Amino acid sequence: MAKVLVPLDGSALAESAIPIAALFARVTGDEPQLLHAIEAFQSSGQMIERAEAYLEGALEKLRQLTDVPAQGRVAIGVPSESILEAARQDGVALLVMSTHGRTGLARTVLGSVADAVVKAAPVPVFLVPSKVKPVDRPQLARILAPLDGSEYAHAIVGPLAELASRFEAEVLLLQVAPGPYEFVDRFGRLAAEVAEPADRFEQAARQYLDAVQAELTGRGIRVTSLYRLGEVANQVLQVVESHAADAIALTTHGRTGLDRVRHGSVAEALLGQGPVPMFVLGREATRRLWAQRWQARSTGEAADGPARPGSPG
């Protein structure tokens, strides 16, 4: 049985991750594991007792949403390190956590914890932004996946296919083309100087989306492909609203170098504005996924999830 790790910090907003964990438990049978990490300077006997009592209350909330057995434990140490240590244990397949569970100065600290966890977690992270309206029984019927055509961004497709299959969810594939002066190549040159005309870019983008759609459809997944013009985060948010998406799935930092500096991180922008949870594949999880695919190719086994069209995988 796979495990879903749910880090908590004692705040009500952090507990907004509990209904998501319960959803996974109900649909997939995955076992929720609640983790309350406290700093070493807070580890007096009284503080540990309070943390254990808090966890018991959180477990009771979880039991009201699912019959799947759940566990909880207190970890002492740096929160991000405690979470990552727990995530590396055998059987943990997913982390579910909210962002910015506290306010004021503590919000900056928790934000850095979430950032560190996403980057270094060996498994995908289901993030619940602070603007997501809390509900006891969320659904996962439609998942939006913004892709930019890069191999890094494409890494989400395999985990997305598995997620959509387990929930029988529809997938919305989205590729956004910015204005002609927003394209920047790895040397910092404007695309107007080096890139193909916009119509050829659109043709290539649609061919890529068609190829990904064919891969997912072949696995029995319902797929709709969308192509938009504009700023990426804004277009993603518009599609979330217009198509009633329940979650967004993406890798972090699909762009690199000067291009990333110019465009910023789409994931970070969506975390600040997004009204739905995000299924995120971070740097370490992506690296491990690629390693598994290379190993599968070297042994002649089937890779886990579709490779990017045109790539050797």
pLDDT band at 45 (very low <50, low <70, confident <90, very high): confident
Quote the mean pLDDT of the chain: 83
Fold designation for 142-299: Rossmann fold (3.40.50)
Q: The tokens of 32 are what?
A: 């929720």
Q: Is residue 257 pLDDT above 50, yes or no?
A: no
Q: Is residue 66 pLDDT above 60, yes or no?
A: yes
**Where in the chain do CATH 3.40.50.620 domains reside?**
3-128, 142-299
At 116 the pLDDT is: 86
Determine the Cα–Cα distance for residues 220 and 225; give it in Å rounded to an integer: 15
What length is written for the chain? Answer: 313
At 243 the pLDDT is: 97
Q: Is residue 109 pLDDT above 80, yes or no?
A: no
Comparing 5-9, 41-45, 188-192, which segment has the lowest mean pLDDT?
188-192
pLDDT band at 114 (very low <50, low <70, confident <90, very high): confident
- Residue in the structure block whose two tokens are 């992506």: 286
Comparing 80-94, 166-180, 297-311, which segment has the lowest mean pLDDT?
297-311
Give residue-wise pLDDT tens across range 165-184: 999 999 999 999 865 545 55
Q: Is residue 192 pLDDT above 90, yes or no?
A: no
pLDDT band at 196 (very low <50, low <70, confident <90, very high): low
- Residue in the structure block whose two tokens are 């069209």: 309
At 29 the pLDDT is: 94
Determine the Cα–Cα distance for residues 29 and 27; give it in Å rounded to an integer: 6
Phi and psi torsions of 17, nearest 5°: -75, -20
Comparing 11-15, 65-69, 257-261, which segment has the lowest mean pLDDT?
257-261
At 102 the pLDDT is: 43
Handedness of CA 182, 187, 192, 198 (dihedral sign): negative
The residue with greater pLDDT, 90 or 198, is: 90
Determine the Cα–Cα distance for residues 124 and 263; give it in Å rounded to an integer: 23
At 266 the pLDDT is: 78
At 103 the pLDDT is: 41
CATH architecture assignment, domain 3-128: 3-Layer(aba) Sandwich (3.40)
Determine the Cα–Cα distance for residues 33 and 238; give it in Å rounded to an integer: 34
Give residue-wise pLDDT tens across range 211-221: 999 999 999 99
At 101 the pLDDT is: 41
At 255 the pLDDT is: 47
Q: Is residue 148 pLDDT above 60, yes or no?
A: yes
List beta partners, residue 223: 171
At 207 the pLDDT is: 94
At 304 the pLDDT is: 52
pLDDT band at 104 (very low <50, low <70, confident <90, very high): very low
The residue with greater pLDDT, 226 or 263, is: 226
User: Tell me, what amino acid is at 213?
Assistant: Q
The residue with greater pLDDT, 41 or 81, is: 81
